[in-house]
Structure 1
Amino acid sequence: MAQRLEGRTALITGSTSNIGRSIAVAFAREGAHVVVSGRDKTKGAAVLEEIRASGGRADFVRADLDGTPALSHALATEASALLGGHVDILVNNAGIYPPSTTPTTDEDTFDRVFGVNVKAPFFLTQSLVPAMIGAGGGVVINLGSWITRLGVPSGSIYSTSKGAMETLTRAWASEFGPQGVRVNAISPGVIASVDWDDTTRGQADGMMRGTPAGRSGHPDAIASAAVYLASEEAAFVHGIVLDVDGGRTGVAVVAA
C-alpha cells in the first residue's frame, strides 16, 4: 500500500517532544521527509534516531521561536534548504502555556505567549506559503486547543492565543486556498505527556470526566489527525478546526 505522504516534505515546529514528536514520526512513517525543530538538540537527536531507525528521512533544525520575524524566516530558509528547496507541509505546533491567571500575568508573559504562539507561526507561514503557491500547492496545519471554546479558570492568555490561531486558520484558508494551499487546524483535548507521573496523569484524566472518552488522550491521536489533513484524503477540506478531544467541547455524558 502506498504511503500517504510519499514524496512530500514537512516542517513541524516544536517537534522534539509530545504532540510534535508524534506528528514528525507519523509523517516520516507515511513517507515524508521531515524537518524536526525545537530548542533541545539532544531531544531532537532522539527523534531523528527513532525516525531513521524505521527507515524514515529526517533532519533537525534548532529553533527558539520567540515571534520575531527574523527567527521565523531563518527557520523557513534552513528547513527549505534541507528539504531540497521546498516545504510542502507546515505544522505550526510549537507553543507555550505558562501557569498564570489574569491577575498574575505581567506584560512580559503576555508578550512571550503571543510571540511564541501567534507571531512565530504567522511569520513562518508568511515565509513558506509563497513557495508553496509557486510549486502548485501545499498544506498548513495549525494547532488550536479545546480551551478556546470551553473556558477554564486559568490560562486565559494561552486560550486567547490559540483562539487567534483558529481564526487565522479560517482567514488563511480564504486567502491561500484559491491558490492551492489548504489550511486547517486541529484542536487537541487533554493530551497526556509521556513524561507525566501518575498523579499528573490522574489529574488530566479527571479533566476528562463526563466526556465520551473519559480519559486523557495520547499524542498519537493528534498525529493521526495531522496525517489525514496533510494527505490527499483531505483534498476537499479547507478552513476547519478538527476537534480531537475525546468529546470534551461538544458532548456531555450524563450518568443515569
Structure 2
Amino acid sequence: MKLPQAGTTALITGGTSGIGRATAKSLAELGIHVIIAGRSVERGEQAVKDIRDAGGKADFIAADLQDEASARTLARKAVEVGEGHIDILINNAAIGSIAMTHQTTESVFDQVMGVNLKAPYFLVAELAPLMAERGKGAIVNLSTMVAELGTSALGLYGASKAALNLLTKSWAAEYGPSGVRVNAISPGPTRTEGTVEMGGMLDQLAAQAPAGRPASPDEIAAAIVFLATDSASFVHGAILPVDGGRTAV
C-alpha cells in the first residue's frame, strides 16, 4: 500500500463504533490524522484515546447528523480541527430500518433519508469543493448489498443507499476532473454493535453468500482504506462489493 503524504487528515462519520471505528484505527496506523464524528461522546473519547495510546493522531467531534445544517456544521468544525483541510471523507454514519413498507411511518422515513442520504450529500457539498481547490482528495461512501437486492423489510434502508450509489457516480463525474476521487463500499452482513438488533436475520442473510458468514468490521475497513488511499489512485466512481460474494450469485 502506498502511504499517504504527511499531513493527511480524514473525517469519519459514525466513527465511534463498528466499521467506522475500525476504519479510523486503520487510517491512524498509516499516519493519517483521523477526526471521528459521532453522537456518543463517551464512545468517541474512548476511540480517540485508543488511537492516541497506540501512537496515532485523533480528535473527536460530537455530531448528530440528520440534515443540511448539522452536516455543514460538522464539515466546518472538522476543517478547523484538521488545520484548514480535510483530505479524506468517509461517509459511514447511517441508521437502519427493518420494517415492512406498510409499517413505516413518515417520521422514520425522514430520519433514515436524513442520516443516510441528506447528511452525506451536504458533507460532500461542503468538503468536495475545498478538496478540488487543493487538487486532491478522496471520498468513500458506505452503501450496502441491500441496495442491489429486493429484500423484504429492508426496502427503505436499501433505497437510501441505492440513491447514495448514484450520487457516488455523479460526484465522481463532478469532482474527479479536479483530483477528487469518489467511490463507495457495498458491505454485506457485518457483525457490529449496530447489527445486534437484527438477531438471527444477520446470519440468515450471510448464509446466502459464498462466504457463508458475516464480515468483521476490520474486513470492511480494509476495503475502505484501499479506496481512501493512493493504492486506488485510478479508481473513480466504483461501487466495490465487500459482501462475501452475495451479489455475485
TM value normalised by structure 1: 0.92
**SS class of match (2:248):** coil
* 1:59 maps to 2:56: no
Paired with 1:102 and 1:15, the residues of 2 have a C-alpha distance of 30
* 1:3 shift after superposition: 3.9
Percent of aligned positions that are identical: 46
CA separation of 1:114 and 1:195: change in aligned 2, threshold 3 A: closer
Paired with 1:5 and 1:193, the residues of 2 have a C-alpha distance of 31
* 1:241 maps to 2:239: yes
Aligned residue pairs total 248
Paired with 2:193 and 2:39, the residues of 1 have a C-alpha distance of 18
* 1:98 shift after superposition: 2.5
Which position in structure 1 is the counterpart of 2:38?
38
- Greater Cα shift, 206-215 or 138-147: 206-215
**SS class of match (2:152):** coil
Partner amino acid, structure 1, of 2:48: L
* 1:14 maps to 2:14: yes
Paired with 1:73 and 1:194, the residues of 2 have a C-alpha distance of 27
CA displacement, residues 111-160 of structure 1 (integer Å, 9 cap, x when unaligned): 11111110111001100111101111101110110001122111211100
CA separation of 1:159 and 1:226: change in aligned 2, threshold 3 A: same
Partner amino acid, structure 1, of 2:92: N
* 1:207 shift after superposition: 1.8
Q: Pick the structure with greater CA Rg.
A: 1
**SS class of match (1:97):** coil
Which position in structure 1 is the counterpart of 2:82?
83
**SS class of match (1:103):** helix
Contact conserved, 2:2 with 2:230, CA < 8 A, in 1? no
Paired with 1:195 and 1:99, the residues of 2 have a C-alpha distance of 12
Which position in structure 2 is the counterpart of 1:223?
221
Contact conserved, 2:3 with 2:229, CA < 8 A, in 1? no
Contact conserved, 1:72 with 1:121, CA < 8 A, in 2? yes
**SS class of match (2:247):** coil
* 1:176 shift after superposition: 0.6
**SS class of match (2:240):** strand
Q: CA RMSD in A?
A: 1.7
Partner amino acid, structure 2, of 1:40: S
CA displacement, residues 195-240 of structure 1 (integer Å, 9 cap, x when unaligned): 877x93x542332224221100001111101111111111100000
* 1:7 shift after superposition: 2.9
CA separation of 1:240 and 1:56: change in aligned 2, threshold 3 A: same
* 1:162 shift after superposition: 0.3
Paired with 2:177 and 2:194, the residues of 1 have a C-alpha distance of 42
Which position in structure 2 is the counterpart of 1:205?
203
Which position in structure 2 is the counterpart of 1:254?
none
Paired with 1:82 and 1:205, the residues of 2 have a C-alpha distance of 40
CA separation of 1:194 and 1:98: change in aligned 2, threshold 3 A: closer
CA separation of 1:120 and 1:195: change in aligned 2, threshold 3 A: closer
* 1:194 shift after superposition: 5.2
Paired with 2:45 and 2:180, the residues of 1 have a C-alpha distance of 31
Contact conserved, 2:209 with 2:243, CA < 8 A, in 1? no
TM value normalised by structure 2: 0.95
* 1:70 shift after superposition: 1.6
